[in-house]
Structure 1
Amino acid sequence: MPTPKFILDLRAKIGHDLLWLTGISGVVLNDAGEVLLVRRADTGGWALVAGILEPGEQPAVALAREVHEETAVTVEVERLVSTEALPPSSYPNGDQVQFLDLCFRCRALHGEPRVNDDESLEVAWFPLSNLPDLPAHDQECITNALSPDPLPIFERP
């Protein structure tokens, strides 16, 4: 999926300067106790399904949209797992970005996972006991999503 228009419009004004964005990510679980992962086209690594919240879009609605757009799986968003300001990063073109990530736990309702857009190279269910290498943030999200504590995790003062 191409860069959202609102980001292109902002970049036309601010260039490569740091842009604060709201990211959404999901720990999608099925009835077999597996987690849905995508192998990202940009990095080649496995990761949780994630995306960018569009202006005016509700976070849970946006995540359900992202999961379906990327994997063809329909989900029910069950709860907020965590909120975290991720470290600043940059893209190969020089754009600087920092995300506030809202991670949600989701339950798969139906749909066979498949690559459904150009953001992923592969899509697959993985048993929790046999996960591929994942970014540390994604590992933390999975751990927090499996916690019996329903309260979201956030940095406390």
Structure 2
Amino acid sequence: MRAHIGHDLLLLPGVSGIVVDDRGRLLLARRSDTGGWAVLAGVVEPGEQPADAVVREVREETGVEVRVERLLGVAMHPVHYPNGDRCEYLNVTFLCSVAGGTATVNDDESLEVGWFDPADLPPMEPYSRLRVEMAVRDAKEAWFAPPGSRHPALVEPSM
């Protein structure tokens, strides 16, 4: 698709998984494109439900099998990649528990993966931090940016 549209803006369906183990630690990945730590995320494939997509993405990126526990939030998230590609993701974030597997770098999207205590997280861009906060605060309702607003954590990061 990029061969046809170049670096122009694409609107894509995305998912994120906040994966929590039985000790309350969060699974994060250090991205190969930016070098920064982030929550696990990816694009929903045609015909795929978002919950199935997050299970697949976490498995593909880390080797960890997860169960989707509940919806954490929904928001638009703009991203400008180092290669010049621009995307805006309609991101659906899920809270996930561990069903099996061992965390390891499982594809070329990550430099490393690791488990982190919520009180001792590595530096992350604001939208990753917001999604982690959704899980840690354990609110009963999903988070969303109020209509007509532009939440500061959703402003395009400089990568």
Structure 2: distance between partners of 1:102 and 1:131? 22
Which of 20, 23, 27 is 2:14 aligned to? Answer: 23
The more displaced of 14-23 and 49-58 is 14-23
- 2:139 pairs with 1:149: yes
The answer on whether the counterparts of 2:118 and 2:136 sit within 8 Å (CA) in structure 1 is no
Please state how far the C-alpha of 1:110 moved relative to its aligned partner.
1.3
Q: Which consecutive unaligned segments of at least 5 residues does structure 2 have? A: 148-159
Give CA deviations for 1:119-154 in whole Å, capped at 9, x if unaligned.
111111111111100111111111111233221111
Counterparts of 1:136 and 1:104 in 2: how far apart (Å)?
17
Change (3 A) 1:60 1:36: same
2:71, 2:142 within 8 Å by CA — same for their partners in 1?
yes
Gaps of 5+ in 1: 1-9
Query: Which amino acid letter does the alignment assign opposite residue 39 of structure 2?
Result: L
* 110-119 vs 89-98, which moves further: 89-98
Q: Is the 8 A contact 2:34 2:82 kept in 1?
A: no
Alignment of 1:78-157 (within 5 A): 78-87=69-78, 89-157=79-147
- Secondary structure of 2:35's counterpart equals coil
Identity %: 50
What is the letter of the counterpart of residue 74 of structure 1?
Answer: E
Question: Is the Cα contact below 8 Å between 1:79 and 1:150 reproduced in 2?
Answer: no
SS for the counterpart of 2:75 is strand
Rounded Cα–Cα distance in structure 1 between residues aligned with 2:136 and 2:120: 15
TM-score (norm 1): 0.87
1:64-105 alpha-carbon deviations (Å, 9 max, x no partner)? 000011101000011111111113x33344322111111110
Task: Find out whether 1:73 has 2:64 as its counterpart.
Answer: yes
Match of 2:29 in 1: 38
| Separation of aligned partners in 2, 1:62 and 1:86 | 17
The answer as to whether partners of 1:67 and 1:73 remain within 8 angstroms in 2 is yes
Q: Deviations over 1:13-42 (max 9, x none)?
A: 433321101111111000101000111111
**Match of 1:60?**
51
TM-score, normalised to structure 2, is: 0.86
Contact 2:18–2:132 (Cα < 8 Å) also in 1: yes
